[in-house]
């Protein structure tokens, strides 16, 4: 097994998708093998690309509210790993950001997941992360999120917290009423346990 420092160094210098990206490669992730929570997202947006911080945008603000975490707690790599399906900003498409480049997960994801030996909870955000972590089981994203208790307490399927999904949040009030309180309690147990260890 490659050491986590060597692996992270290799990822930080990755140029696999260089020719297909709108900007020079700038992998954005947060990783520590001691993390108990993994946020498996899609790709960094332009603000995350520019700052080098994952979820450093309106989507991140909503996600932190969902989890009941401050920015400081959210960006504590020893508690929370953030590994999008694609580490570099893929560029803009007709309906928002382009999908994650497939090469990224193929090259790096399994090696990173193997290093997370303390992992107790994986938050799987958005369709591309759902497909990777749950497989293509014929369920829509909404159906899988509604069935969240089937994956509990190790995994939690989530919609993307993007402002572009406001209609989904309005159409699915059960998400905030029923699911988020349970999720916040689970996250707090793990984060505060981490703080006390």
Say which CATH number the domain at 138 has: 3.40.470.10
Q: Given pLDDT bands bounded at 50, 70 and 90, which one contains residue 197? A: very low
Domain that holds residue 141: 4-196
Q: What is the pLDDT of residue 2?
A: 64
Q: Compute the mean pLDDT over every residue in the chain, rounded to the nearest whole number.
A: 94
Q: What is the pLDDT of residue 40?
A: 98
What is this structure's pTM?
A: 0.94
Q: How far is CA 189 from CA 125, 139, 196, in A?
A: 20, 30, 11
pLDDT score of 190 more than 90: yes
Average pLDDT rounded to a whole number, residues 53-74: 97
Q: Could you give the count of Cα atoms lying within 13 Å of 152 in the half-sphere of its Cβ?
A: 15
Q: How many domains does the chain have?
A: 1
Angle, vertex CA 43, rays to CA 160 and CA 182, nearest 5: 35
């Amino acid at each position: 097994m490659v050491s986590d420092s060597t692996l992270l160094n290799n990822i930080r210098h990755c140029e696999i998708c260089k020719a297909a990206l709108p900007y020079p490669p700038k992998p954005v992730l947060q990783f520590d093998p001691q993390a108990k929570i993994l946020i498996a997202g899609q790709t960094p947006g332009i603000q995350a690309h520019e700052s080098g911080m994952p979820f450093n945008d309106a989507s991140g603000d909503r996600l932190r509210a969902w989890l009941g975490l401050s920015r400081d707690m959210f960006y504590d790599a020893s508690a929370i790993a953030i590994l999008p399906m694609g580490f570099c900003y893929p560029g803009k498409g007709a309906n928002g950001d382009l999908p994650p480049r497939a090469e990224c997960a193929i090259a790096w994801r399994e090696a990173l997941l193997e290093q997370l030996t303390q992992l107790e909870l994986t938050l799987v955000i958005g369709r591309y992360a759902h497909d990777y972590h749950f497989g293509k089981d014929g369920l829509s994203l909404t159906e899988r999120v509604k069935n969240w208790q089937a994956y509990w307490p190790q995994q939690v399927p989530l919609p993307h917290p993007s402002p572009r999904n406001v209609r989904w949040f309005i159409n699915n009030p059960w998400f905030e009423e029923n699911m988020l309180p349970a999720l916040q309690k689970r996250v707090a147990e793990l984060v505060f346990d981490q703080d006390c260890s």
